[in-house]
Amino acid sequence: MLDDRPAQGSILYLDGVTVSFDGFKALNELSLIVAPGEMRTVIGPNGAGKTTMMDVITGKTRPDKGDVLFDGSVDLTRLDEAQIANLGIGRKFQKPTVFEMLTVAENLELALKCDRGTLATLFFMATSEQRDRVAAVLGTIGLRDRASLPAGRLSHGQKQWLEIGMLLMQDQRVLLLDEPVAGMTDAETEQTAELLLEIARDRSVVVVEHDMEFVRRLGARVTVLHEGSVLAEGPLETVQNDHRVIEVYLGR
């Protein structure tokens, strides 16, 4: 183990993380630190390693080497997805993945923060508080009148919202969002930005996004990934004027 002083005080700490698939390095010595309560946007061309980075943090992919620490000390590379989720890291996928056969309310109920042990789940009965919480989130994501509809019958944008709603239900300390506004209309995008800014008040949020308007609207610190490592980091304006970033985005 490395000396964990630099990790202290961070909520997410990645250092020297390398992942390769059949010789192709999806992540190459990636290092990234996210502070508690911080909102961070991650941009980068296709194949830069954005999704792989999320896979590593959430336990879907084990890194070949490198450290991934949560809350300054918890080694995430030793835990599986469920354990990491229960630590307080939530994730929204690029492609909305809601449970299509279940109703909107049931989707939210599954995400509810509570004991997720098998027997506890079997004998689970929602308290009135928990029911109120579901109702409140339904209101926040604007799906109150669709609560008992199977999630499979929602529109694409509504599914995105439902997934964000599920993240809200989980009440996590860190949220990882992979292209949350892909496929949304401008109005929906604006609403989502507001919602995210609201959420980010009391937790850390990492957003991967292509939509530069949306990134600007979030107004957060930007990390640019390229070929599996960090190319530039800073406020959007600074990053946008970085000649290496321009080169990567506009071609050589």
Partner 1 sequence: MIRALALLAALLFAQPAQADAFSEAVAGLSAGGFGEKIKAVETLAALGDARAVPILRAMAEGRLLARPDGALVIDGHDATTGQPAEAEGALAVSINNRLRSAIQGAVGRLGLVSPDPAERGRAAQAVLDSPSPESAAMLRKAIERETDAAVMTAMRFSLAALDLGDADPARRLAGVAALADSSLDPQVRGLLTRLAQSDSDAGVAGAARQALEGAETRLRALRIAENLFQGISLGSVLLLAAIGLAVTFGVMGVINMAHGEMIMLGAYTTFAVQEAFRAWAPAWALDFYLVAALPAAFLVSAAIGIALERGVIRFLYGRPLETLLATWGVSLMLQQLVRSLFGATNKEVANPSWMTGGIELAGGVMLTWNRVVIVLFAVAVLAGLAALMRWSFFGLGMRAVTQNRAMASAMGIPAGRVDALTFGLGSGIAGIAGVALSQIGNVSPNLGQGYIVDSFMVVVFGGVGSLWGTLVASLSLGVVNKFLEPYAGAMLGKILVLVFIILFIQKRPRGLFALRGRSAEA
Partner 2 sequence: MGPVLSRLLAIDDRRFWLGFGAVGILLLAVVPSLNALPAGHALNVPDYAVTLLGKYLCYALLALSLDLVWGFAGVLSLGHGAFFALGGYAMGMYMMRSIGGRGVYGHATLPDFMVFLNWQELPWYWMGFDSFWFAAAMVVAVPAGLAFVVGWLAFRSRITGVYLSIITQAMTYALMLAFFRNEMGFGGNNGLTDFKELLGFDLSRPGVKLGLYTASAVMLGVAFLVCRFIVGSKLGRVLMAIRDAESRVRFLGYSATAVKLFAFVISAVLAGIAGALYVPQVGIINPSEFSPANSIEVAIWVAVGGRGTLLGPVLGAFAVNGAKTWLTGAAPELWLFALGGLFIVVTLLMPKGIVGLAAQARERLRGRPVPLIEEKRNA
Contacting partner 2 (CB under 8 A), which of 1, 101, 187, 250?
A: 101
3-state secondary structure (DSSP) of residue 241 = helix
**Binding mask of the shown chain, residues 111 to 150, with x at each position contacting partner 2 by CB under 8 A:** x----xxx--xxxxx------------------------x
List 31, 45, 94, 102, residue binding partner 2 (CB under 8 A): 102
Instruction: Report the residue number, 22 or 237, with the smaller CB distance to partner 1.
Output: 22
On whether the CB atoms of residues 76 and 161 are closer than 8 A, the answer is no
CA–CA dist 76, 66 (Å, integer): 11
Output the smallest distance, CB 232 to partner 1, in A: 26
> Is residue 58 a contact residue for partner 2 (CB under 8 A)?
yes
The answer to whether the beta carbons of residues 217 and 190 sit under 8 Å apart is yes
Smallest distance, Å, CB 110 to partner 2? 6
Told to check if 81 binds partner 2 by CB under 8 A, we report yes
Site for partner 2 in 26-45 (CB under 8 A): none
* Residues contributing to the site for partner 1 (CB under 8 A): 21-22, 24, 26
CA distance 130 to 112: 8
In the complex, what is the shortest distance from the CB of residue 182 to partner 2, in angstroms, rounded to a whole number? Answer: 17
At 81, list the tokens. Answer: 């997805």
Per DSSP, the residues of 140-195 read HTT-GGGTTSBGGGS-HHHHHHHHHHHHHHHT-SEEEEESTTTT--HHHHHHHHHH
Sheet containing 74-75: give its strands across.
Answer: 24-34, 12-21, 65-70, 74-75
Asked if residues 86 and 58 have their Cβ atoms less than 8 Å apart, the reply is no
Minimum CB–partner distance for residue 22 and partner 1 (Å): 5
Q: Which does 91 bind (CB under 5 to 8 A by kind): partner 2, partner 1, none?
A: partner 2
State in angstroms the smallest separation of the CB of 216 from partner 1. 30
Q: By the criterion CB under 8 A, which residues form the site for partner 2?
A: 58, 60, 80-82, 85-86, 90-91, 93, 97-102, 106, 109-111, 116-118, 121-125, 150, 152-153, 166, 170
